Amino acid sequence: MSGQLVLVRHGESESNAEGIWTGITNVALTPKGHADARRMGALLADLDFDRVYTSCMRRAEQTRDDLLDAHGPTTAVLKKTAALNERDYGEYTGLDKWAIQAKIGQEAFKDLRRAFDAVIPNGESLRDVYERVVPWYVANVVPLLLAGQRVLIVAHGNSARALRKHIEDVTDEAVANLEMDFDKIYIYDVDEYGRCLNPQVRLL
């Protein structure tokens, strides 16, 4: 019998609150982000974790720490990996999102943010993120799940979307409509390929 994968996005960061394209900028959580992470932990208090993975970014680690503090005592093994880091927004890193939308138009802006192959100068597309996240997931997480372990992943908007694209078998076109919100917890039983069998969603 397989274990379970629990997937969350980090809490609200300082740049999220300011409408700034964060990407690989290593910002901290806002007070709301800390509070929401603790609420996640309380909602997951009925689940014991064997392993917890985060990116190497501060906001993901802070979310993990707050979540586990509210969750209660755990013997989970804690791991970090750059494979889960947020999408590199290249030349747009640190810029105001809405100023960019006003400059390039709403449709082009939506494609830039959501389309699978949208290119950012000196940055990553979602496909690039997918190609680093999914092989890591298949090699490192799926064997744990198939061995019956429960794994928590604290990721970012785009690294989580890339994972969900694989897990939920979402097409390249449909991924543009796939959101990874701050207030949702995704829980999956998976098959031998790491794809979902019985998805659940818990809301903050």
Catalytic residue among 10, 71, 156, 166: 10
pLDDT digits (tens, 9 = 90+) for 100-145: 999 899 999 999 999 999 999 999 999 999 999 999 999 999 999 9
Q: Which residues of the chain fall short of a pLDDT of 70? A: 1
Q: Is 91 a catalytic residue?
A: no
Question: For residue 198, what pLDDT is reported?
Answer: 84
Question: For residue 1, what pLDDT is reported?
Answer: 58
Domains of the chain: 4-203 (3.40.50.1240)
pTM: 0.96
Catalytic residue among 12, 34, 71, 86: 86
Angle at 180 between CA 179 and CA 183, to 5 degrees: 120
User: Residue 186: how many CB atoms within 10 A of its CB?
Assistant: 21
Q: Is 34 a catalytic residue?
A: no
CA distance 47 to 184: 16
User: Residue 82: how many CB atoms within 10 A of its CB?
Assistant: 11
